[in-house]
Amino acid sequence: MEIQTPWTNSNTIKPKDTNNFNREWFSGEIYVDKSEKKGFTILRITVHGKHPKKKMIDDTTRTYYVESWTGEFIIDGEIKDALAGTLFIIEPGHEYEYSGNMVLMETNISQSNTFKDKLIETLQKDS
């Protein structure tokens, strides 16, 4: 049985056709999921806190476009302002984390469709 996703039958994906997810420090919509085996994924993320530090591995490149609001990215230890209109590119071998209150468009590109990253730290919830 073929899974029907927004991408399956159209080249236009509307917010109402996405799958939602919620994490402690961010939430969002999945426009193109890795289960679709397209070699890329697309998510829209609303950040309300800090994302744990990760390292991109193998053939996965991750991009974040800051759609609105502000925050900061730390890429390989360098702090960068995350202002609306900024694009961040994290290639294999690079570490990153981000925090703030912002809306991001995330794209993951992986020719092998593995989408690998490595969690470097876990975050503790404030008591």
- Whole-prediction pTM: 0.85
Q: What is the pLDDT along the chain (127 residues), one digit of tens a residue?
A: 444 555 555 688 889 989 999 998 999 999 999 988 889 999 999 999 999 999 999 899 999 999 999 999 999 999 999 999 999 999 999 999 999 999 999 999 998 888 888 888 776 665 4
Q: Where are the domains of the chain?
A: 18-119
In one-letter notation, the amino acid at residue 84 is: A
- 18-119: which CATH number, 2.40.50.100, 3.40.47.10, 2.60.120.10, 3.10.20.30? 2.60.120.10
Residue 32 makes CB contacts below 8 A (sequence gap 6+) with 5, 6, 7, 13, 38, 40, 41, 42
Coil, strand, or helix at residue 68?
Answer: strand
